[in-house]
Amino acid sequence: MITRSAFQPAWWLPGPHLQTLYPSLFRTRKIPPLRRERIELPDGDFVDIDWTPQTDGLCILILHGLEGSIDSHYAGGILSALANSGHTAGLMYFRGRSGEPNRLPRSYHSGETGDLDYVMQYVGQLHPEKGIAVIAYSLGGNVLLKWLGEQGDRAIPLTAITLSVPFDLNSAALRLEQGLSRIYQHHLLQRLRESVKHKASKHSMPYPADRLGDLRTFRQFDHAVTAPLHGFNGVDDYYRRSSCKPFLKHIAIPTLMLQARDDPFLPASALPDENDLNDLVTLELSRRGGHVGYISGRNPLQPVYWSEQRILQHLAAFH
């Protein structure tokens, strides 16, 4: 089902790039008290989760975006909003993103659902008395939706919410090579190259560390590094097998996907249509909002982070 979002952008942040960049540059990071838990994975690696204090509310797992962490502008905001609303929330870090390098040469990627599956099974056993929900941003949203489609009616969560998902990875990569979107590509690739250089000091990498500067687009980076490192036959095989769009119709729990048509990370032509969805999956579209932006409010000194309000509204039906 596709519905129209009630979101109205702040008059002082009218365009997609202002909506996208403002919270990254200016939002005050307010992080609630957190307890770190390390989960050992079957292959000898690990992932970490930062938990808010235990409550009687829902247990909610949060998945970050590409190169995200607790420092991402949305992380502290949603953790605080959930904790203040009586829920227990945990930010799950993908491999290598919790401030400590992961142990193996491999890392995380847009289609890696094995780690999420292992963590969800663990969380379900840890909190059998609680209802479980998942919130995921950008790349994390692609991972979550793909996993939910793979799970079908075996999925553990009561509900799921995603924001600004790159539903078709090839379309997203090509979009990031165009216009002002190249600033995001440049920034993210710079961080990815640094991560690979660090790994290259301890592990054998599929591409020479001293030539990483030659990889100037996501397609080039994913073809030279991501795909061979994780067992794909090149970038097209990686994007085809990892994009979540073909999995959406197989999702068997109520799922809300918040998406803006002007997202500078994805062309509107790559958004799912009704044929890609089922009755349990809602694509809530807004004309504006950028990428993980959704900032409203009349006063520039008091920005309103609308997506957090919308998330709490959705979760209220499951609490």
291 as an active site residue: the answer is yes
Q: How many CB atoms lie within 10 A of CB 101?
A: 16
pLDDT score of 319 more than 90: no
CA angle 85, 89, 91 (to 5 degrees): 140
158-211 pLDDT per residue, tens: 999 999 999 999 999 999 999 999 999 999 999 999 999 999 888 888 999 999
Q: Is 240 exposed, middle or buried (0-12, 13-18, 19+ CB in 10 A)?
A: middle
Residues near 274 by beta carbon (within 8 Å), at least 6 away in sequence: 1, 2
Contacts of residue 48, defined as CB under 8 A and 6 or more positions apart, other chains included, come to 36, 37, 38, 39, 92, 93, 98, 100
Report the alpha-carbon distance of residue 238 to residue 155 in Å, rounded. Answer: 24
Catalytic residue among 72, 110, 138, 243: 138
Read off the pTM: 0.96
Q: Is 107 a catalytic residue?
A: no
30 has pLDDT over 90? no
User: What is the residue-averaged pLDDT of the chain?
Assistant: 96
Mention the CATH class of domain 2-168+249-318: alpha beta
What is the mean pLDDT of the segment spanning 81-94? 97
Which is catalytic among the residues 263, 286, 296, 314? Answer: 263
- Tell me the domain boundaries of the chain: 2-168+249-318, 169-242
Q: Is residue 186 annotated as a catalytic residue, yes or no?
A: no
Q: Return the H-helix or E-strand segment holding 305.
A: strand 304-305
Percent of the chain at pLDDT exceeding 90? 93
pLDDT of 141 > 90? The answer is yes
Q: Which band of pLDDT confidence, cut at 50, 70 and 90, is reported for residue 140? A: very high
Rounded distance, CA 273 to CA 243, Å? 15
